[in-house]
A and B are shown apart, each in its own frame.
Chain A
């Protein structure tokens, strides 16, 4: 159906998707929030202190 609705003209005015812009801004906002709150580095491992893959299995 969409093919039938396709125009043979061009629109002078640029169409701006405000919803998409708002979503991007919201994502940026969230990213900035995560930045400081999430600490300087990922920290999951609480048992090992140093690790050298070369020594695996030794």
Chain B
């Protein structure tokens, strides 16, 4: 299968993989849904002028975006995704909101410090392929314990925007850490279509639904743009691509591509290099990241919204995306 064919199949692959789990998790989480997004007070005037969405791509590490943000006096809204949350705390950035989406039963809780670390990580090298943060790459018991303590200390200062699809261990971990939790559900398909998963989840939860673009970074942007209605939204760490010196086998989906297609069929054609016209640099991507990019650009284009990309690299460029440095965004909207 070639790159375009695989990208075109991802919608169906994701549907098959998630269709039962997201409905089941939504049903299981109903007893914990004390507050929904509707109970969320909209931010004050300063906070609605601008927001920075902190995604978890490798540029967050290499460009040191969080140090710049921490050193600024930025008083807009900060939305972190689950994968960047601990890194934010380590840099001294306390997000207003932390958003989580993925229903994976063992991996996602890791971003908040996993109380069953050894059991959940057995035989899974996912985090050793995270290009984001050497601490997560190291994947040690010590790091995990530090993350548990860090999250326990700061959880009360951020609102957790938690999807109905969250796995049970994450829900329990978030409650134990002391987050204020505001529930929503992913708007995955047309609720009026036959057999709609969105409709099934709504019938179980009665939650408001937000589109996600298939990934938590885009979901964070949709949340800031269409739920909080913030005027100017920047993203950092939204690479959707890799530096060219990173070996293919260190990318997130590599082992799964090998499993699916066979090692002999996983070559450079599945990792096309794309030049970013804004930065003049080239990055390679993979089918899933390219699918995320396409989804995000579609959502931007279909809404007429503008996204300020302060990632400083990566492959997110196109209509509605304005590249600028984080420094520039902070000086204009800080």
Interface status of A12 (Cβ within 8 A of chain B): no
In whole angstroms, how far apart are the Cα atoms of A51 and B202 in the complex?
A: 10
- A-B CB contacts (within 8 Å), total count: 137
User: Is residue A14 contacting chain B, with contact meaning CB distance below 8 A?
Assistant: no
> Count of B residues near A, CB < 8 Å?
59
Check if A51 sits within 8 Å of B187, measured CB to CB: yes
Given known A32-B259, A50-B211, contact A41–B102 (CB-CB < 8 A): yes
**Cβ–Cβ < 8 Å partners of B90 in chain A:** none
Question: How far does the alpha carbon of A20 sit from the alpha carbon of B255 in the complex, in Å?
Answer: 24
Q: Tell me, in angstroms, the Cα distance from A46 to B257 when the chains sit together.
A: 26
Number of interface residues of A (CB under 8 A): 26
- In the complex, which of the residues A31, A36, A41, A43 has the most CB atoms of chain B within 10 Å of its own CB atom? A43
Contact for B226 among A41, A45, A49, CB less than 8 A: A49
Report the Cα distance A39→B15, complex, angstroms. Answer: 9
B147 touches A (CB below 8 Å): no
Establish whether residues A46 and B198, one from each chain, have CB atoms under 8 Å apart when the complex forms. no
User: By the criterion CB–CB under 8 Å, are A51 and B10 in contact?
Assistant: no
| B204-228 at interface with A (beta carbon < 8 Å) | 206, 208-216, 219, 222, 225-227
Interface residues in B240-267 by Cβ distance below 8 A to A read: 252-253, 255-257, 259-260
Task: Tell me the A residues contacting B by CB distance below 8 Å.
Answer: 29-54
